[in-house]
Structure 1
Amino acid sequence: MTTLYHSPQSRSDTVVDLVRLLGAKIEIREVTIARQDGTGGPDPDNPHPEKKVPYLVDGSEHIRERGAIVLYLTDAYPAAKLGPTVGEEGRGSYLSWLAWYQGVMEPLLILKWAGVSHPAIESGLRDEATMLERLAEPLRSGPWLLGERFSAADMLCSSPFQWFKELLPADPTIRDWAERCAARVTR
């Protein structure tokens, strides 16, 4: 059986929501994790090599990092139509958004939260304003990152704004999109 290792009120919540929207028969096993406030700690029952979540085990496959798990699951459950399949229009954009979230958006948000700035960061990842503009660009012509199609990329990229309302920019394009995403997930 496929098992998702999860800790409530963490980044794995988005993957739990995805599992529900996919209609996937996946066991969700709660584990403890070390929290920023000093609570919790590594759980010996968590097979993640760093004891983090989410972590997906599907037979001999072990998948970590939200973008990779999202891609794995949307490919495994194509009938839910939460991610374009190989050869389907929009696949490249979908893959790009998943990778961009992991490689640019989340690191920039963590660095902002930590109060870290440096020219090397802006040279490689750019800055918050550029990140927000990348999000807003496709949303000006369609309600979702892939235009008329809601996808797991919307879930992933909007997830920080669901948790940290103070991160929501004043731009109504992004604010409205984040609200639409939240409404889709809580149905």
Structure 2
Amino acid sequence: MPILYHSPNSRSSAVVTLLDELGAADVEIREVTIPRQDGSGSPDAANPHPEKKVPYLIDDDETVRERGAIMLYLTDMYPQAGLGPLPGQPGRGAYLSWLSWYQGVMEPVMVMQFAGLSHPALGATFRDPATMIARLSEALARGPWLLGEAYSAADLLCSSPFLWFPESAPDDPAIRDWIERCAARPAVKRTAERDAKVAA
């Protein structure tokens, strides 16, 4: 049985939402503690992640870390849900690109912006907030979702920081409407409720 290691109200919450969207009831969710940015929490000896972080997925002999990789693994594992194009299907390249873009561009840019860091080398490597916003806006001008007409795990992943930090949402109508559509997904609401109960 696959096992997802999760800590409530953390980056792994998006993967819990994906499991709900996929109908992946056979994946066990195990809650662990993690160190938090506010100084609370601590590494959990029960967490097999090599850095004691979440999310972490174990599927028999396979181990998967990093949200984009885990989401790709799961959407390939549960193709019937239609939340990510499979190899050979139209949109596969765009799907892989968005998952990787989130990890390699979007999250670093947002963290640097939050930390007040700015340097030409950082902008050249990871882009800048204006470029990040432009990429999202261009994609959403072609359809309601990042891949066009179909909601995918790429939308779930890329919208997640704006759901956590609404004040970080750019003043762009297409992006704000997309964030609202993502936030309205029943699975997103169920994860928030689940995390609140566990945290309490």
What is the TM-score with the length of structure 1 in the denominator?
0.98
Quote the Cα distance in structure 1 between the aligned partners of 2:63 and 2:127.
Answer: 32
Q: What does residue 161 of structure 1 align with?
A: 162
Shift of 1:186: 3.2
Q: What are the residue-to-residue correspondences of 1:127-146 with 2, within 5 Å? A: 127-146=128-147
For structure 2, list consecutive stretches of 5 or more residues without a partner in the other structure: 191-200
Quote the Cα distance in structure 1 between the aligned partners of 2:17 and 2:59.
Answer: 18
Q: Tell me the amino acid that sits aligned with residue 104 of structure 1.
A: V
Q: What does residue 195 of structure 2 align with?
A: none
Q: Which SS does the other structure have where 1:62 is aligned? A: strand
Q: What does residue 89 of structure 2 align with?
A: 88
Q: What are the residue-to-residue correspondences of 1:72-111 with 2, within 5 Å? A: 72-111=73-112
Q: Tell me the amino acid that sits aligned with residue 126 of structure 2.
A: L
Q: Which SS does the other structure have where 1:131 is aligned? A: helix
Q: What does residue 59 of structure 1 align with?
A: 60
For structure 1, list consecutive stretches of 5 or more residues without a partner in the other structure: none
Quote the Cα distance in structure 2 between the aligned partners of 1:9 and 1:138.
Answer: 28
Q: Which SS does the other structure have where 1:160 is aligned? A: helix
Quote the Cα distance in structure 2 between the aligned partners of 1:126 and 1:106.
Answer: 11
Per-residue CA distance 1:108-129 (angstroms, 9 max, x = gap):
1111111111100111111001
Quote the Cα distance in structure 1 between the aligned partners of 2:38 and 2:123.
Answer: 28
Quote the Cα distance in structure 1 between the aligned partners of 2:87 and 2:189.
Answer: 28
RMSD of aligned C-alpha atoms? 0.8
Quote the Cα distance in structure 2 between the aligned partners of 1:131 and 1:101.
Answer: 10
Higher relative contact order (CA 8 A, sep 6+): 2
Q: What does residue 46 of structure 2 align with?
A: 45
Quote the Cα distance in structure 1 between the aligned partners of 2:86 and 2:117.
Answer: 38
Quote the Cα distance in structure 1 between the aligned partners of 2:74 and 2:145.
Answer: 20
Q: Tell me the amino acid that sits aligned with residue 175 of structure 2.
A: I
Quote the Cα distance in structure 1 between the aligned partners of 2:3 and 2:73.
Answer: 13
Q: Tell me the amino acid that sits aligned with residue 178 of structure 1.
A: I
What is the TM-score with the length of structure 2 in the denominator?
0.92
Q: What are the residue-to-residue correspondences of 1:27-46 with 2, within 5 Å? A: 27-46=28-47
Q: What does residue 14 of structure 1 align with?
A: 14
Identity %: 67
Quote the Cα distance in structure 2 between the aligned partners of 1:72 and 1:130.
Answer: 28
